[in-house]
Amino acid sequence: MEMAVTDSSYSTPKWWKEAVVYQIYPASFQCQSGVTSGWGTIKGITSRLDYLKSLGIDVVWSSPILKSPQADMGYDIADYKQIDERYGSLEDVDELIAELKKRDMKLMMDLVVNHTSNEHPWFLESRASRESPKRNWYIWKKPKSIGQDGVPEPPNNWAQILGEANSAWTYDEKTGEFYLSLFTPEQPDLNWENPEVRAAVWEVMHFWMKRGASGFRMDVINLISKEPNYPDADIVLGPGHRYQPGVKYFVNGPKLHDYLREMYREVLSKYDTITVGEMPGVSDEKEILRSVGADSEELRMIFIFDLVDIDKPDVRMALKPWDIKEMKSIITKWQRVMIRDNGWNSVFIENHDNPRSVSRYTDDSDEWREKGAKLLALMQTTLGGTLFVYQGEEIGIRNAPKTWDISEFKDIETINYWKKCEQLYANDKEKLAFGRKIIDMKARDHARTPMQWTAGENAGFCDPGTKPWMRVMDDYQTVNVEAQLKADNQTDLSVWQFWQGALKQRKDHADVFVYGGFQELYPDDQEVFAYVRTSIKGGRWLVVLNFSGRELEWVMPQGLEIESWVSTNYAKGAPDKPKQSGVPLKSWEGILGRCV
Ligand code: GLC
Domains, the chain, ordered by start: 121-180 (3.90.400.10)
Q: Give rounded-to-5 percent helix, strand, coil for the chain.
A: 30, 20, 50
CA neighbor of 174 nearest in space, from 120, 115, 124: 124
Q: How far is CA 247 from CA 117, 169, 351, 353, in A?
A: 21, 14, 21, 18
Q: Where are the alpha helices (DSSP H) in 429-477?
A: 429-442
Residue with CA nearest ligand 1 atom 12: 75
What distance lies between CA 295 and its chain's CA centroid?
A: 25
Say yes or no to pLDDT of 7 above 80.
no
Residue burial 302-333, b: 16+ Cβ < 10 Å; e: rest = bbbbbbbbbbbeebbbeeeebebeebbebbbe
Confidence class for position 4, pLDDT limits 50, 70, 90:
confident
* Ligand 1 pocket: which of 73, 353, 410 to mutate (most atoms within 8 A of CB): 353
Share of the chain above pLDDT 90, in %: 96
Say yes or no to pLDDT of 145 above 70.
yes
C-alpha 62 to ligand 1 mean position (Å): 13
| pLDDT at residue 148, as a whole number | 87
CA neighbor of 592 nearest in space, from 359, 375, 301, 328: 375
The minimum-distance atom of ligand 1 relative to the CA of 351 is 8
Q: Is 353 in the pocket of ligand 1 (CB under 6 A)?
A: yes
Q: How many other CB atoms sit within 10 Å of the CB of residue 240?
A: 10
Confidence class for position 320, pLDDT limits 50, 70, 90:
very high
Catalytic pick among 278, 411, 511, 520: 278
Q: What is the mean pLDDT of residues 260-284?
A: 98
Catalytic pick among 84, 164, 177, 219: 219
Say yes or no to pLDDT of 8 above 80.
no
| pLDDT at residue 5, as a whole number | 77
Rounded Cα gap, residues 410 and 140, in angstroms: 30
| pLDDT at residue 238, as a whole number | 82
Least confident among 227-241, 383-397, 459-473: 227-241
The minimum-distance atom of ligand 1 relative to the CA of 353 is 9
| pLDDT at residue 3, as a whole number | 78
List all residues 6 or more positions away from 252 whose beta carbon is below 8 Å from its beta carbon.
Answer: 222, 225, 279, 281, 282, 287
Question: pLDDT digits over 427-484, tens only?
Answer: 999 999 999 999 999 999 999 999 999 999 999 999 999 999 999 999 999 999 999 9
Dihedral, CA of residue 193, residue 198, residue 199 and residue 200, to nearest 10: 120
Question: pLDDT digits over 91-100, tens only?
Answer: 999 999 999 9
Per the CB < 8 A criterion, the answer to whether 41 and 30 are in contact is yes
| pLDDT at residue 590, as a whole number | 98
List all residues 6 or more positions away from 221 whose beta carbon is below 8 Å from its beta carbon.
Answer: 111, 113, 114, 260, 277, 278, 279, 299
Q: How many other CB atoms sit within 10 Å of the CB of residue 572?
A: 14
Quote the mean pLDDT of the chain.
97
Question: pLDDT digits over 172-215, tens only?
Answer: 999 999 999 999 999 999 999 999 999 999 999 999 999 999 99
Say yes or no to pLDDT of 240 above 90.
no
CA neighbor of 307 nearest in space, from 288, 284, 326: 326
Per the CB < 8 A criterion, the answer to whether 304 and 283 are in contact is yes
Q: Please give the model's pTM, rounded to 2 decimal places.
A: 0.98
Least confident among 165-169, 234-238, 287-291: 234-238
* Bridge partner list, 3: 518
Confidence class for position 239, pLDDT limits 50, 70, 90:
confident
Q: How many other CB atoms sit within 10 Å of the CB of residue 584?
A: 12
| pLDDT at residue 105, as a whole number | 98
Rounded Cα gap, residues 202 and 195, in angstroms: 11
Q: What is the mean pLDDT of residues 305-326?
A: 96
The counts of H helices and E strands in the chain are 17, 24
The helix/strand/coil state of 76 is: coil
Q: What is the mean pLDDT of residues 155-161?
A: 97
Question: pLDDT digits over 555-574, tens only?
Answer: 999 999 999 999 999 999 99
List all residues 6 or more positions away from 345 whose beta carbon is below 8 Å from its beta carbon.
Answer: 292, 301, 302, 304, 334, 338, 384, 385, 386
Rounded Cα gap, residues 570 and 587, in angstroms: 10
Per the CB < 8 A criterion, the answer to whether 137 and 197 are in contact is yes
DSSP 8-state assignment for residue 473: P
Rounded Cα gap, residues 484 and 460, in angstroms: 14
The minimum-distance atom of ligand 1 relative to the CA of 76 is 12
Is position 219 annotated as part of the catalytic site?
yes
Say yes or no to pLDDT of 23 above 80.
yes
Q: Is 189 in the pocket of ligand 1 (CB under 6 A)?
A: no
Confidence class for position 1, pLDDT limits 50, 70, 90:
low
Q: What is the mean pLDDT of residues 524-539?
A: 97
Q: What is the mean pLDDT of residues 341-362?
A: 98
CA neighbor of 447 nearest in space, from 351, 310, 349, 311: 351
Q: Is 364 in the pocket of ligand 1 (CB under 6 A)?
A: no
Element (H, E) at 503: helix 495-508
Is position 278 annotated as part of the catalytic site?
yes
Rounded Cα gap, residues 63 and 66, in angstroms: 9
